[in-house]
Structure formats: structure tokens, C-alpha cells
Amino acid sequence: MARFTSWADKIYAQARDSWTETDEQRYAARLMLGTLAPGSRVLDIGTGRGRDVAVLAGAGHEAVGLDLTPLAEWEKIRADYDRASFEVRGFMDYRPTGAFDAVLDSGCFHHQHPDDLDPYLEKVRDVLVPGGSLWLNVFRRRSDDCAFTENPTAPWTDGRYIRTYVESTVKALLTGHGFSLVSHTVIERDDLRAEVDDMLVHAVRPKQ
């Protein structure tokens, strides 16, 4: 974790977070807005510069952003939107004061250590209200020849694991942790050696 935090601090300080302004990163929040009840409470895991928190809070929702790296943009977002807040904390160390109507993870889950996948999804389920939504953006491999697999054995030098999925495996993973799959959307991308796209998955915690 310390190695990844050091890497992230450096990337943000040098403005090399190329993913921040990509269309695929903004797509999830735009879709969420069409499904949220007025005044919903939303958790954004791995909020980065807080772009999605600003979108959600600007639409009248309470939006909480979590990230390991504090960024200057947070102060302005908090000043602009009284329903926006941020915490410098990893998701597994986060202790919410109440449940959320929706959780957004746009690029964190597929970088988790293999031992953390099950506890991660269990905690997502636990912080959601019954009937609450999970919006999960993961890497989707385009073919079985992809260099990035579903079960990487070692992290990159920056401490991140790079994990990819296909529709059937991410559905099995989520249903195995008590979620019902609503939809998935493939978002094409042209980086990462063109071996992967993004896959935005919408799932819900059942009401019963």
C-alpha cells in the first residue's frame, strides 16, 4: 500500500493522471444521475481529483470521495458544494457514519490485491442500503491472448495489480457476493496497448 501511495502522490504532483479527464471516467457519474433518487447519498471510491463528487453534489446528492492522495481540487469542490466531502483513506479502512444509496468505483477494484477482492465486495455490500446500487468500472480484456489476466500473480513495480474481466466472470463474482446484475456497458479505450476496454457494471444489493 505504501508503495502504491508513493506512486500515486508522484503521478498527481506531476499531473500525469491521464485517466482523470477521459470520457470513460466521466461516463459512470453521468449514467448514475439518471438512476438516483433526489438527495441520494453516494460514495466515490478512489475519487482522485474529485470530478465525480462535483458532478454528483452539483446535482443535489450527498457525495463522499475517498482517496489515498489528498488533492488541492477538493477544497474548491467543498467550497462550491456543501454536500461534497472528502476523506484521505483507503476504502477498507473507511468507517462510514451511515449507509449509502450508491457506491461508485471507477478504476480501483481491478487493482486490488487478490486477498482483498472478497472482503472488498463484502464491505461494498455492507455499506449499501438494501436496494442500493454499485457502479463498478473494471478492465475488460478483448481476447484470451491479452497480457493482463483475471488472476495476476504479482503486482507491477508501482504496487498495483492489473486485473481484467469478461462479462461472465464479473457477473459470477458479483452474484457470488449477493448482488443482482442490472446491466453492463463496454466503453472502448485506446491505451493499455489496446488490449483492454472499460466495462461499467451496474449491480444492486437486493432489498431482502
Domain ranges of the chain: 2-204
Better pLDDT: 117 or 65? 65
Query: Has residue 18 got a pLDDT over 70?
Result: no
Chain-centre distance for alpha carbon 62: 17
Residue range 188-206, pLDDT digits in tens: 776 655 688 888 999 999 9
CB neighbour class for 192 (10 Å; exposed up to 12, middle 13-18, buried from 19):
middle
User: What is the per-residue pLDDT for 65?
Assistant: 96
Chain-centre distance for alpha carbon 52: 11
Chain-centre distance for alpha carbon 34: 18
How many angstroms separate the Cα of 184 from the Cα of each of 1, 38, 166, 167, 193? 30, 24, 10, 8, 23
| Segment of 40-49, 142-151, 163-172 carrying the highest mean pLDDT | 40-49
Residue range 171-181, pLDDT digits in tens: 999 999 999 99
| Segment of 6-10, 104-108, 138-142 carrying the highest mean pLDDT | 104-108
Give me the CATH topology for the region 2-204.
Answer: Rossmann fold (3.40.50)
pLDDT, the chain, mean:
84
Contact 114, 141 (CB under 8 A): no
